[in-house]
Amino acid sequence: MIIFAGGGLGFMMGMFLGALDNPIMQDQMSGKQQLLYNLKQMGSRSWSSAKTFAVMGVVFSAVECVVEKARAKHDTTNTVVAGCVTGGTMSAKGIYFLLLFLLLRVMVSMILVRSFLM
């Protein structure tokens, strides 16, 4: 469900932002060329934004669920940790994504160990 909600929101954002993009050669383009250019931009941006928002929704909900299960508490700390991990995941590329994933595993392990000791 969260995939569709995030994807739908991303699609709408992409449609809006794609419509705002102006071609560089706007003075030399006819009205039909400008319309086709804007429709292509709207399509490509909406698809890209839909994928990004869907991934953000999945990562956020998965991390929040894992942290909530590990801590056995339902409070704002879970949301803060999920937001930080989601932001880091979305900004990471290549090897940094792997390092962030390993850091997440260590963090979850520490939470599990701490919850069993207390």
For 2, other C-beta atoms within 10 Å of its C-beta total 15
Contact between residue 56 and residue 90 where contact means Cβ atoms under 8 Å apart? yes
d(CA 47, CA 8): 10
Half-sphere exposure of 19 (CA within 13 A, CB side): 5
Q: In sequence order, what E strands does 1-118 have?
A: none
- Transcribe 5-26 into DSSP letters: HHHHHHHHHHHHHHHHPPPTTG
Domain ranges within the chain, ordered by starting residue? 2-117
Which of the listed ranges 12-21, 73-82, 109-118 does the model predict with the highest average pLDDT? 73-82
pTM of the model: 0.61
Q: What are the DSSP calls for 30-51, one per residue?
A: -HHHHHHHHHHHHHHHHHHHHH
Task: Give the C-alpha separation, 105 to 72, whole Å.
Answer: 17
Instruction: Render pLDDT for 54-100 as a digit per residue (tens, 0 to 9).
Output: 878 888 888 888 888 888 888 888 888 888 888 877 776 666 666 66
DSSP class of residue 95 equals H
Average pLDDT over residues 3-23: 71
Residue 58: closest CA among 5, 95, 111, 112: 5
